[in-house]
Structure formats: structure tokens, C-alpha cells
Structure 1
Amino acid sequence: MEEEGVKEAGEKPRGAQTVDKAGWIKKSSGGLLGFWKDRYLLLCQAQLLVYENEDDQKCVETVELGSYEKCQDLRALLKRKHRFILLRSPGNKVSDIKFQAPTGEEKESWIKALNEGINRGKNKAFDEVKVDKSCALEHVTRDRVRGGQRRRPPTRVHLKEFGMNALLLSAWFGHLRILQILVNSGAKIHCKSKDGLTLLHCAAQKGHVPVLAFIMEDLEDVALDHVDKMGRTAFHRAAEHGQLDALDFLVGSGCDHSVKDKEGNTALHLAAGRGHMAVLQRLVDIGLDLEEQNVEGLTALHAAAGGTHPDCVRLLLRAGSTVNALTQKNLSCLHYAALSGSEDVSRVLIHAGGCTNVADHQGASPLHLAVMHNFPALVQLLINSDSDLNAMDNRQQTPLHLAAEHAWQDIAEMLLIAGVDLNLRDKQGKTALAVAARSNHVSLVDMIIKADRFYKWEKDHLSCRDLSDPSGKSLSFKQDHRQETQHLRSVLWRLASRHLQPREWKKLAYSWDFTEAHVYAIEQQWTGTRSYQEHGHRMLLIWLHGVSTAGENPSKALFEGLVTIGRRDLAENIRKKANAAPSAPRRCTAM
């Protein structure tokens, strides 16, 4: 809007005394506002109020405006002649409108539509815009009710960018009377949006049954099964968006139930993927093929599993869907549940007989996928459901290799406690320990060494685990922070940092049955002339975990180890310090 227009807008028009008329836009300007031809539009806070006449006290329509959350705050920095100015009463200029949009393209869409709708006029006559100081058009879609998948419905500005004319907008918003007026005025009924949506698509997607009835009964040559650019009919649209009444109307009108879109999806796929239970039940009752696959080989059960809709999964299973159906890439429904991290869907599928050990086209099992995407609860469920812990993918990686590669400590401990084979190697010849060491995941390296030593000890002893804890719930390979071992851990730190010589920690390690691989993995982290202190300390803590788990006397075992490497003097000194604390575990009084 140019300066001349701003000055003209400063005068107080008729009707301004009305309390609820905080501002108004007059003239039929075409574009966005052409939909309300010859009516008065008033901007009031986050609403556009539509009046038949300027002096009317009651509006004929209220248009809610709002703005997306997590949006950028962007100003409409356009050329001077295209500015959209807000005016304070009685006419002082304020700053340009602030636009909020998730992307720059969205911002430009708003600006373009507002400028076309407000600043255009015949013979360079300017639309008059006046708003109260508090009526900044900032939060333009925030208060709009969220729909499926937490999406907000589009505003008129968005719809304009999709090529929605007045006729399509009438069907979209369910304005039957406006639609009838437009049709009676000679509007072209066989119109389409940029996405190929017809009147029937718009009304079906939004669930406006009276509009559907008008289209089918009063308009001529309306193709019931006409497809949009995605190959979807109005029946598809109603199913996808959960419009049960619209779907029933279309079924009653004789639409094709089995038609597929360009991706091979039936209405069953679309309803299942969006979690529309009522629509899904109706489609099952109609008799749609439960095993129909789209171009990727997904059934409706795959779609429901991937969409994390356990109720829809149960419904389809009760109706007879095959729980272990596979896609073109050999993905099962459980694979899709694992990809989405849904513990509930996975449990339903497993209880229905879903196989936990199917390998996809990359050799990955559902457990591989759950580990890769860091879903600990789902990993535990799959472990408890007898998943193969040692299954290898096409890279010959086990789930533990993946956990080591990504440093998922919680998941790694689950796999270690469950008894995964630590000797398996990937295509590069690396064990999970080597993978963790290469990636400098220090804590994970120590955990794997602890587990390896524990299982070797367990194999050599008759009383493997505590019989009162057969599940191993009390077993842990993580760093020890227990109060009862704090004093001894302090002793071990002093031993490693002050008394052991550079190579003595290795001698101790070998005397306690640490392997070459264990020592090498420890040495890969920390470098420098004094790195042996950190290496020795880590080795001692790993050793302490083993003797504590085995129920041995740590003081006695430490004394014997130091004597073995020729450090009796140090052993005597350490024994005194280890027994000095009142809470020292199992004091060594005779060694």
C-alpha cells in the first residue's frame, strides 16, 4: 500500500463506532478476498469477520486465523509501493505486519496472497485498511484445531496457493449455500486444484455429506471415481482422512471400492496408516481384500504397524490379516513396528505369532532395527521374545556390533546380560569389542570386557549365577558407583596412579586372565607418557567387577596378584590400606 493510501485510511469511516469492529477492509479486491465479493471484511484480533453491509451489527461469517507453532518471526519487507500497513486509530502508522511461517516459501505465500487480496484495486484505487493497535496479524494459524497426525487444517491462504478457486473452497469448507449460488451463476463445475482435487474430492476429504449429496444429485456428469494427481478418488480421500459418513455416502452412491492410487494403495491402506478405526472397520465389513499389496508390497497390516496404531493392528489381525506377510524388500510387519519404535504394536504382533527372526533385504532382523534406532524398551521386548541375539546382517554385524558402533550403553547391557556371543566378527573381521574400541567408546569397551570375563568364569564354575536371580536382573556391566566399594576403588586409583610402573598393569592383567584383545582394546584409548595410569586404573576396575561378581575376596586377590608380578612390598602396603576402612569388604587377616 502506498503512502497516498495510508493517508486516505486515516479518516474514520461509517460504522467505526461499533465496538467489535476493530478494523475493516472494504472494496472487492479480487484474489484472496474475491471470495467475499461485495461484502465487508473486518480484522478483529485473530478473526476475520464478514458482514453483508458496513453498518451491520452481526457478521454472517467468522474466519478463524492463527499461526503455526515453532515458526520463524518474519517481517514483510517488500517494496514501498507494496507495503501492507497497519494503522492505529485515529490513523497513526505502525510497523509492517509480522508474518510467521515455517519456511521462507510459506512466508512468501502469505505475503503474496495478502498483497493481491488487499492492495489490488481498479484504477489504482486502494483498499482501505484500518485496525486497532492490538490487532497485529501475527498468530495466523496457531489456534486452529489439529487434525490427523497432529496436522492443522490449511487456511484460505494456503488453499489459494494450491489453486483452489471459490467453487472448490465452498466444497472444502462445506458452504453449501455459496456453492449453490456459484453453480447457479454459471461457475464451471468441472474444475480442479493444482493437485487435481475436484469438488467431490474436497467435500469427501472434509466430510461434508450435504455438499456431496448436492454434487451427486444436482450436478451433471460428475465422475464418482475421478482420480487426482496421486491417483486417488474421493473414496480414497474419505478413507484417508477418517470421514466415515462421507465414505458411507460414496459407497451408497456406487463408488469403486477396490481402486488403487498410483502407489498401489487401497482405501484400506490409507485408513490403516492413519489409524482411523471406524473407517477401517467399515472397509473390512465391506469386504476389501486384507492381503492386497501396494507397489512396495505393503499390506494394510504393514501400514497400521508402521503408523503405530495397535488398535488397527488388532482389528486387522482379528479380521484375518497375515501377521508374517512380507514386502518386496522382505520387511515384515514387525520390521515396520521396530522402525517406528512401537512397543505396543510389536507386542500385539508377537502375541499373534509374528516371527522375530525374519531378515529383510539387508539381512536385518527387527532386533537389528530396534537397536539401530535406539529403542531400549523394544529391544528388551524382542530379547524376551526369543529373538536371535547373534543374527548377522549383510555386513555380518550382530545387534551388539550396532550398539557398540553407536555407543548405546543401555541396549548393549541388555544384549550382554542376555548372553550374546562376543566372538562373532563382522566383514572387517572385528568383534563388537574391537568396534567399540575403534570408536573410542571407553565405557562400552569396559562393559564388553567385563561381560567376556564373567561368562568365561561362569563357564568354568558349576554355580554359574545366583539361583535366586535366574534372569540376571541384579547383573550389571556398567561402571560401579556402589557405596560399599568406594574405599577399595579409591585404593585402586592410588595404586594405578602412584605405584604401578608403566608395564606392570599389563603383567597384572595377564596374571588375572585378561586376553590380548582385552589389553589391546584398553590401550586404544588415551595416549601419552602417563596414559598407563588411566589404562591401569580401568583394568583394575574391570578386575574388581569380576572378583565381586564371583564372590571372591578382592583384598586377597589383589595381594596375590601383586606378589605374582614381584611386588610383595607394594602388596603389603596395599593390604594395610585396603583393610583400613571400617566398611572394607572381607578383610584379609591372613594371606
Structure 2
Amino acid sequence: MASDDRRKDEPLEDGRADSGVDSYRSALRSEEPREPSADFSGPRDKFTAVEERLDSAYGSSSLTAESLSEIVGGCTLEEPARGSELSDREENLLTTITEDGDTILHLAIIHEDRFIAHQLMQLFPQDVLNIQNNLYQSPLHLATYLNLVDVVKGLVEKGASLELQDQEGNTALHVACQHGQTECAGEMTREASPSKLAPVLETQNWRGLACLHLAALHRQHHIMKLLVNKGADLNVQEGTSGKTALHLAAELHDVASVKLLLSRGANVDAAMFNGCTPLHLAVGRQDAAIAHLLCQSGADTMLRNMEDETALDLADGNDDILALFPFDDIQISGRSVVSVKF
């Protein structure tokens, strides 16, 4: 273990770090002072500003924040007229990519240099804005992860694609949902037409999770409201076990999410691939409060999963939960006993 710790603290060799945000974070490990490590279950803490970030740079030389300004300086910062030729310097900017797949726009965003990022957005055509590095991160992915709201807005206005997926299958909107970047999510969805946004909302990452699933998993209630208002399917099933956002909220004992989803019309009896409804999950976790909410919303207490169990079978003697279930499963001549008048 000690040798592992020593290796973490050793300086990066060859004057370079890996591509993308992960490399930026690794380069910061030896910097002082530094922020506490980010908690990815919620909004990400701001990275500590540093004067230099080593990267696989142009011509195998180290790239610093200052050299970014030098590279961009002197270039025409207006969109070239159709048919006009680019200068050699501008062509180099457009075509130079590091060995990690980063364009200079990726690097400006990694350095959180908003001014240069906006200059490059004016200069670059749309195709360059959508170049993905070796981690399949587009500039929009990185700007969202770093919560650079103005850069996200600029990229979206310039036509950056919302559908590109990184190495984990996440779109930039997935990243916003996972890390609680509410303003970034707002910029990505504000002007998007329903036809343009629908494929993004339906996209599942390699774990089978759509944006609404990630927002529910990370208790991002504001983003959940935003997605629902933008037409996200409340009943979309994640790809591994068929859970809807309501299943996930019940599993997490997240009363606020359960109330939100039910109020917007989520299917209270949606079944997983194994037949379990949200009520099965709530009762199985002995959560009387959420079970009560589901029953109030009309949950069918007699639905059976593939193990032939009703939610009542999972109550395990919990009196608070048993009180929610009337003994209406006893029938005479097809009629419930509780409705028979003696």
C-alpha cells in the first residue's frame, strides 16, 4: 500500500498527463492548496486554479495557460466567409490534435480559460466543436463537467451536438444530471426543439441509464423537473433490470422524487423485468411512508412478481405497512369480502 501511495505522488513523466478532465485532476494532486476531493453524488467542487497544466501538447512541448493565449493571439477571430481560405496559423489551430485527441478548444476548457474558449468558438466551424478526444469527450462534455455555464451556452448556440456520447455512453446532458449541473442542463435544453431534444432524453448510457434515471439516482430534483417539463418519458425503463425513475426513487427512500413523479403522472404500477412494481420495492425495504404514497396514488396491491409474490407478501410483519393493505383479497362468488353487506 505504501508503494502505491508513493506512485500516486510521483511527478508525471514526460511532461504530460492523460487526456480530459481526469488528467487535469491528476495534475492537480501535488498542487497546494487544493479543494477537497469532489463528491460525484452531487454538484462538483470547483477545481483549484493553477498556473500550469501539463498535457500532451503541440510539438511535444508543455502547454501552459499562458501559451494558450500566445497560440490564439494574432488569429482572425471572426468566422471566415464562405469560400475564403484560412491562414496557415488558423489551419494549424483547426487541425492540430494532441496525442490524447484534444483540440486546443478542449485544452482551453480544461484550463477553464473562458475568454480563449469563447474566442475559439468564434473561429472554429461546427464540425471542430464536435471533435471528441480519446475518452470520447467533446468540448461540451468537458464544459458541463467543469460547470462552465457560459461556455456551455456558447457551444450550444454555435450548434454543438447534444447527442455525442463519451466512453461511458453519457451525453453532456447525462453529465449534467449526474453531477447536478442544473444551469448547464438549462442551457442545453432551453432553446432545443422537442424533435432535437427527444433523442437525447431517450439515449441510454452503457449502464442502460437515461438522463431521468441519473437525475433520480442522484436526487437532482430541479433537473428532474426540468427534464419532465421538456418531455422526458416518466416511464422509460433502464436497460439492466427495467426500473423506471419511480422504482429508483422508491429504492432510495426519496419521498420528494416519488411525490414529483406521481404528481406528473408516472405509472404507479410499472413493472420491472422481474415483475416488481414500485410498491414491491417500497414494502420490501420496509418504507411505510413511500408505500403509503403509492397506495394513495392507486397502486394495485395484488400484482404479483415473477416469484409469485404480492407486495403484501413482502411486508414481513411490519404493522405500519400491513395497515395499508385491506384484506380485500378474500372473495366470495367473485366479490371482495369487505364489500359484502351482511
Q: TM-score, normalised by structure 1?
A: 0.42
Alignment partner, residue 56 of structure 1: none
User: Do the aligned partners of 1:147 and 1:153 also contact (CA within 8 Å) in 2?
Assistant: no
| 1:234 and 2:80 matched | no
Amino acid at match of 2:60: C
Spell out the pairing of 1:268-347 with structure 2 (5 A cutoff).
Answer: 268-294=140-166, 297-320=169-192, 321-323=196-198, 324-327=201-204, 331-347=209-225
Summarize the alignment of residues 393-404 of structure 1 with structure 2, pairs less than 5 Å apart. 393-404=272-283
Distance 1:104 1:338 in 2: 39
Relative distance call for 1:271 and 1:390 in structure 2 (3 A) is: same
Query: How far is 1:234 from its partner?
Result: 3.2
Three-state SS of the structure 1 residue aligned to 2:180 is coil
CA distance in 2, matches of 1:291, 1:346: 19
8 Å contact from structure 1 (residues 284, 319) kept in 2: no
Alpha-carbon shift at residue 211 of structure 1 (Å): 2.6
Higher mean C-alpha displacement, 303-312 vs 383-392: 303-312
Measure how far apart 1:424 and its partner are: 1.3
Q: What secondary structure does 2:326 align onto?
A: helix
241, 244, 251: which one pairs with 1:372? 251
Q: Partner residue of 1:190? A: 59
Contact in 1 for aligned 2:72/2:116 (Cα 8 Å): no
Per the alignment, residue 541 of structure 1 pairs with none
404 and 288 in structure 1: CA distance in 2 versus 1, 3 angstrom threshold? same
Q: Provide the rounded CA distance (Å) in 1 between the counterparts of 2:268 and 2:140.
A: 35
CA displacement at 1:240 relative to structure 2:
4.9
Q: Deviations over 1:84-112 (max 9, x none)?
A: xxxxxxxxxxxxxxxxxxx8567535987
Deviations 1:263-305 (A, max 9, x none): 4332122222433211101111222123334465543323222
Q: Name the SS of the counterpart of 1:414 in structure 2.
A: helix
The residue aligned with 2:69 is: 213
The one-letter code sitting in structure 2 at the alignment partner of 1:391 is: A
Whether the 8 Å CA contact 1:305–1:345 is kept in 2: the answer is yes
Matched residue, 1:447: 320
Q: How does 1:58-457 map to 2 (within 5 A)?
A: 104=2, 107-108=5-6, 143-144=33-34, 149-150=44-45, 152-153=47-48, 171-172=52-53, 190-191=59-60, 198-199=62-63, 202-203=64-65, 210-215=66-71, 224=93, 225-229=96-100, 231-240=101-110, 242-251=112-121, 254=124, 256-294=128-166, 297-320=169-192, 321-323=196-198, 324-327=201-204, 331-361=209-239, 362-437=241-316, 442-443=317-318, 446-453=319-326
Deviation per CA, 1:460-505, whole angstroms, max 9, x where unpaired? xxxxxxxxxxxxxxxxxxxxxxxxxxxxxxxxxxxxxxxxxxxxxx
Contact 2:141–2:171 under 8 Å retained in 1: yes
Instruction: Give the 3 Å change call, closer, same or farther, for CA 344–268 of structure 1 in structure 2.
Output: same
- Equivalent positions of 1:514-529 (< 5 A) are none
5+ residue gaps, structure 2, are 12-29, 39-43, 75-87, 331-336
Amino acid across the alignment from 2:238: D
For 2:296, the aligned partner's letter is I
Query: What is the rounded CA distance, in whole Å, between the counterparts of 1:322 and 1:223 in structure 2?
Result: 34
Inter-CA distance 273–319: structure 2 relative to 1 (3 Å threshold) = farther
Return the alpha-carbon distance in structure 2 between the equivalents of residues 407 and 371 of structure 1.
11
CA RMSD of aligned residues (A): 3.8
Q: What is the CA distance between 1:189 and its match in structure 2?
A: 7.7
Structure 1 residues 247 and 390: CA distance shift in structure 2, 3 A? same
The alpha-carbon distance between structure 1 residues 389 and 233, as it changes in their structure 2 partners (threshold 3 A), is same
CA–CA distance in structure 1, aligned partners of residues 168 and 47 of structure 2: 29
CA distance in 1, matches of 2:188, 2:275: 35
Q: In structure 1, how many angstroms separate the alpha carbons of the residues matched to 2:268 and 2:210?
A: 18
Distance 1:397 1:434, change over 3 A: same
Q: CA deviation at 1:235?
A: 1.5
The alpha-carbon distance between structure 1 residues 216 and 315, as it changes in their structure 2 partners (threshold 3 A), is closer
The alpha carbon displacement at 1:432 in A equals 1.8
The two structures have a TM-score, normalised by structure 2, of 0.68
**Alpha-carbon separation, structure 2, partners of 1:252 and 1:352:** 29
Aligned-partner residue type, residue 191 of structure 2: A
Would you say the 8 A contact 2:144–2:152 is kept in 1? Answer: yes
TM-fit CA distance, 1:377: 1.0
Cα contact 1:226–1:234 (8 A) shared by 2: yes
What per-residue deviation string (whole Å, max 9, x for no partner) do you get for residues 399-452 of structure 1? 122223333333223223323111111211112222232xxxx43xx2332111
Q: Please state whether the residue corresponding to 1:350 is helix, strand or coil.
A: helix
Give aligned-pair identity as a percent.
26
> Partners of 2:148 and 2:281 in 1: how far apart?
35
Tell me which of the two structures has the higher relative contact order, counting C-alpha pairs closer than 8 angstroms and 6 or more residues apart: 2
- Maintained 8 Å contact 2:58/2:98: no
Q: CA deviation at 1:382?
A: 0.8
Aligned-partner Cα distance in 2 for 1:248–1:110? 34
Q: Residues 447 and 292 of structure 1: is their aligned pair in 2 closer, same or farther, counting only changes over 3 Å?
A: same
Unmatched 5+ stretches in structure 1: 1-102, 114-139, 156-169, 174-187, 193-197, 204-209, 458-512, 515-591
CA contact (8 A) 2:46 2:146 kept: no
